[in-house]
A = this chain, B = another copy of it.
Amino acid sequence: MPDLTPGQFQLVYNLLSLTVATMLAAGLFFYGSRAHVAHRYRPALLVSAIVVWIAGYHYFRIFQSWEGAFMLSGEGAYTASGAFFNDAYRYADWLITVPLLLVELVAVMALAKDEARSLLTKLVIAAVLMIAFGYPGEVSDNATTKWVWWAAAMVPYLYIYAALFSKMGPVIAANPGRVGSLLGLARNVLIVTWLFYPISFLAPVLGLGGATGEVFLQVGYTIADITAKAGFGVVIYMIAAARTEQEGHGATTEPLAA
């Protein structure tokens, strides 16, 4: 790890801690919110809760790994302690959470059951391949190896983009008003935040290294994860609440369970 100024070290340190709090709290919100929407949309909120709790666990580990990887040297700089900073926690996290984020999205699209199942199977396989292909490139120090695995991971990545655009377009069109515009928002949050990952993957190859590069990567991944998981989950909640209201079976007519 490169030497960091106290400001650089603490920015990442505080942001990682903030992310632990955000993910755990978002999970409690999604979990508790199930009782406030129609039964049909409760599984989507439960999956949203699971996603951010898994992320909260991994950010707790990343926080500890970051803290352990540096030590305050006499001259007011944080230098490498010799302990390993394990960025692979991110891949472990994505391998579980990225397929689940796609489950959330499909669950609030309210497709016919067969159509939903078939779409979800394709998306989940593509998501797992995308993360699995990225990993060998991430841990390699060789530029060619990184590029080869990057290209391999981009195939399922672009497949997911294409599938979401072709499948969500008609659903958005069929739901004018608040539900349709929220579905469009969910798709856009996913598509825009996901752009960060393939770009940052290439940061070492593109010469973005050293202290600034490391801080940029950690801050960028963290903001992307908060947006793509907690922020995305809030949009899923808003879709579920809007659909509940629209369908006229507000929680008032239903037995509750939380």
Contact = CB atoms under 8 A, between A and B. Distances in A.
Interface string A76-102: 000000101010110111011000000
Interface stretch (A34-42, A119-127, A188-196, A203-211): A34-42
Contacts of A33: 43, 46
Interface residues of A, number: 54
Contacts of A88: 10, 14
Give the dominant DSSP class at A's interface: helix
Interface in A51-89: 53-54, 57-58, 61, 72, 82, 84, 86, 88-89
Nearest to A92: B18
A217 interface: no
Given A46-B33, A255-B257, A28 B53 contact: yes
B29 A36 contact: no
Contact of A96 (B6, B25, B58): B25
B14 A29 contact: no
Contacts of A24: 53, 57
Contact of A25 (B17, B22, B53, B89): B53
A118 interface: no
Given A14-B92, A21-B58, A92-B17, A42 B49 contact: no
22 contacts: A6-B84, A13-B86, A14-B92, A15-B92, A17-B61, A17-B89, A18-B95, A18-B96, A21-B58, A22-B96, A25-B54, A28-B50, A28-B53, A29-B50, A33-B46, A36-B42, A36-B43, A36-B46, A39-B252, A72-B84, A252-B254, A258-B258
Given A28-B53, A255-B256, 5 more contacts: A14-B91, A15-B92, A21-B96, A22-B54, A36-B42
